[in-house]
Amino acid sequence: MVFMTKHHLHDRHLSRALNIGTPYLWLGLFFLLPFAIVLHISMAETALAQPPYTDLMSWVDDGVLQIKLNLQNFVTVFTDELYLAAFLNSLWIALVCTVLCLLIGYPMAYAIATSPERRRVILLMLIILPFWTSFLIRVYAWIGILKPNGLLNNFLMWLGLIHEPLTILHTQTAIYIGVVYSYLPFMILPLFANLTRLDFSLLEAAADLGCRPFKAFLKVTLPLSLPGIVAGSMLVFIPVVGEFVIPDLLGGPDSLMIGKMLWTEFFGNKDWPLAAALAICLLGLLVVPFVFMQRLESRMGGDEL
Amino acid sequence: MNRGRWKLYTFLGLGFAFLYIPVLLLIVYSFNESRLVTVWSGFSIKWYLELMQNQQLLDAAWLSVRIAATNACFAVVLGTLAANALVRHGKFRGRTVFQLLLTAPLVMPEVITGLSLLLLFVTMEQTIGWPDGRGFTTITIAHITFSMAYVAVVVRSRLSQMDRSLEEAAMDLGARPLRVYMSITLPLIAPALLSGWLLAFTLSLDDLVISTFVAGPGSTTLPMVVYSSVRMGVSPQINALASIVVLIVSVAVIIAGLSLRQRPAAKGH
């Protein structure tokens, strides 16, 4: 008996090491360490070399290690009005789209969560399906719809509602449409997860006590679904701030977004250090909402995702 | 059904219309004969036939499928281990950081993940000489890093809903933990593993931004080919390709959905 317990103890240690250690090691190496390197390279200078940046550290003649930190890239990011405008516009687009997703997604999640069990499974699958379907393809679908001689304009002109094609593609409106369309399932899924666990007898109790349905919703349902609202909003807001594909394919020259500028600095101008500095600033901007989401999630047991 | 209910379902219907009409139009117009994608001129499957002749696209698709499958296998293993750690090992030291590292890839803007991984690979190549150039390996590693987080979410919810009495019974009968895990736990969470695998596969197949950062000159994946042709405008061939992808993904979702629906020994519903 004693022998067996010893075995079990040994197994337990092994299991801990395997279950915790392996993913930890992987994420540490391929997710955490890279940020340190980005920070490092954001303080280098561009150079005509392969890779195109200078070393921060170099050995001077008498064996002294010289470290040159170059903060010029950050100065550029903070003083150039173009970058500032891009940051502000990215935050604005993310905010508007999060609110729109919430306004559209909440009633949808509510309808699914309160429908009969059998129907609920099918409705949920219908939400998950577009979430799995290629992001790129779904954004691409909107080009054909929104362009000047596209399906939407043809349809509206056929109806006689408009006589001149509307310019929607390559404007900020197209970005809003593309983002809300692509990120709506990210809002609905955590809201649904939250609302299905809601105790609807509380609403009946409120009704029995003479509360009008809308007031009961505001006083009971809405506060109880707050964790779902926050989780869904963060799942939309955080990635949208750094979105690249949507502003690139649907946006125009006036709709600046930071993800797109980072891409251009990196692939177009080959300015790796400046791209790294932009990434660090973007990361710094997103830490606050991320930590907020994380704290809420650990308090709620993490079922919202 | 009362009036409020009807309003709610009407809204839901409109929401689904918004989610589905663009993709349905894409599929309909992939059978359009005209090169002008938005003008209907007759039914034709010629774009599908042309697609089958496009060698560059076929090569890219094959590379993408190989990456996606390799990625999905690794991601399922790592994601399941991570889910075990969170559900079975309670409050271990560093749990907060562990959880943080596991959630962050879900929301991290892709440009940041892509850039940081590329800089890591470049630095590693300079210092330890590995990876030698960029391509299949670097793209797969990058995909595993974000896919495992999604797998962990799926497996974790299944694991925490699981009825543990069978495991406890086996333990009482003297089976060792590994044996219990292999012969009882794994079969019970198998549906979650399957849907995790499929999710990791489709996420990888779809990724453009991260792949573009960490790819080398000789490794062009399917989304990269699609992207460069989309930038030049709408093309009927891409519509045909998109329809095929939608078909494959729909089948995957239905399999995953059905397998998650049967939950023999699970508590709850």
B91 touching A (Cβ < 8 Å): no
**Per-residue model confidence as pLDDT tens digits over A129-172:** 888 888 898 999 999 899 888 889 988 998 988 888 899 999 99
Residue A245 lies in a domain: yes
How far A160 CA sits from the closest chain B CA (Å)? 18
> Which segment of A199-213, A267-281, B207-221 scores lowest on mean pLDDT?
A199-213
| Residue B28 belongs to a domain | no
Task: Answer for the pair B145, A29: CB distance below 8 angstroms, yes or no.
Answer: no
Higher-confidence position of B132 and B146: B146
Whole-structure pTM value: 0.91
Query: What element of type H or E holds A57?
Result: strand A57-60
| Angle subtended by helix axes B136-161 and B186-206, to nearest 10 | 140
Residue type, A292: F
β-partners of residue A64 are: A60
Within 10 angstroms of residue A125's Cβ, the number of other Cβ atoms is 17
In a domain, A33, yes or no: no
Residue B39 has pLDDT above 80, yes or no: no
- Return the residue in B19, B137, B160 with the most chain A beta carbons within 10 A, the one to mutate for interface testing: B19
Among A194-203, A259-268, B23-32, name the one with the lowest average pLDDT: A194-203
More confident site: A135 or B76: B76
The per-residue pLDDT for B265 is 42
Among chain B residues, the shortest Cα distance to A111 is held by B8
The mean-pLDDT minimum among B16-30, B49-63, B101-115, B254-268 falls in B254-268
CA-angle at B249, arms to B68 and B188, nearest 5°: 75
pLDDT at A301 over 70: no
> What's the mean pLDDT in A194-214?
85
Which pLDDT score, from 0 to 100, does residue B262 have? 57
Mapped onto helix, strand or coil, the DSSP state of residue B186 is helix
Name every chain B residue with its beta carbon within 8 A of the beta carbon of A22. Answer: 78, 81
More confident residue, B177 or A110: A110
In this structure, is residue A34 part of a structural domain?
no
Q: Closest residue of A to B139, CA-based?
A: A30
pLDDT grade for A6, boundaries at 50, 70 and 90: low
Q: Does the residue B4 lie in any domain?
A: no
Is the Cα torsion angle A168, A173, A176, A180 positive or negative in sign? Answer: negative
What average pLDDT does this structure show over B88-96?
A: 85
Q: How many domains does chain B have?
A: 1
In angstroms, the CA B215 to CA B139 distance is: 6
Q: Please tell me whether the peptide bond between A247 and the residue prior to it is cis, using omega within 30 degrees of 0.
A: no
**A·B CB contacts under 8 A:** 259
Residue B93 one-letter amino acid: R
Tokens of B208: 């453009």
What CATH number does the domain containing B172 carry?
1.10.3720.10
Between B38 and B154, name the one with better pLDDT.
B154
Mind listing the pLDDT tens digit for each residue in B238-257?
889 989 988 888 888 888 77
Instruction: Give the amino acid at A92.
Output: W
Q: What is the per-residue pLDDT for A104?
A: 97
Residue of B nearest to A18 (CA): B81
Which long-range contacts does A64-73 make (Cβ < 8 Å, 24+ apart)?
A: A69/A43, A70/A43, A70/A44, A70/A45, A70/A273, A71/A43, A72/A45, A73/A42, A73/A43, A73/A273, A73/A274, A73/A276, A73/A277
Stretch among A53-67, B27-41, B191-205 having the lowest mean pLDDT: A53-67
Q: Are B78 and A23 in contact (CB under 8 A)?
A: yes
Residue at B30 is within a domain: no
Question: Buried (b) or exposed (e) across A75-91, using 16+ Cβ within 10 A?
Answer: ebbeeeeebeebbebbb
Domain containing residue B216: 54-261
List CB contacts of A218: < 8 A, sequence separation 6 or more: none
Measured CA to CA, the distance from residue B93 to residue A24 in angstroms comes to 12
Cβ contact B148–A26 (<8 Å): yes
Give Cα A87 distance to the centre of its chain. Answer: 15
- Chain A residue nearest residue B80, CA to CA: A19
| pLDDT of B60 higher than 60 | yes
Q: Per-residue pLDDT for A63 more than 80?
A: no
Could you read off the pLDDT of B163-201 as tens digits, one per residue?
888 888 988 888 888 888 888 999 999 989 998 999 999
- Hey, are the CB atoms on A15 and B99 less than 8 Å from each other? no
The helix/strand/coil state of A21 is: helix
CATH number at residue A213: 1.10.3720.10
Domain that holds residue A187: 81-300
Q: How confident is the model at residue B141 (pLDDT cuts 50, 70, 90)?
A: very high
In-domain check, residue B24: no
Residue A59 in any domain: the answer is: no
Residue B103 lies in a domain: yes
pLDDT given for residue B171 in this prediction? 86
Burial (CB count within 10 angstroms: exposed 0-12, middle 13-18, buried 19+), residue A22: middle
CA distance A16 to A9: 11
Q: Is the pLDDT of residue A43 over 70?
A: yes
Q: What mean pLDDT value characterizes chain B?
A: 89
Confidence of residue B268 (pLDDT cuts 50, 70, 90): very low
- pLDDT for B153 equals 92
Asked, for residue B196, whether it belongs to a domain, the answer is yes
Q: Would the CA dihedral through B235, B17, B205, A122 be positive or negative?
A: negative
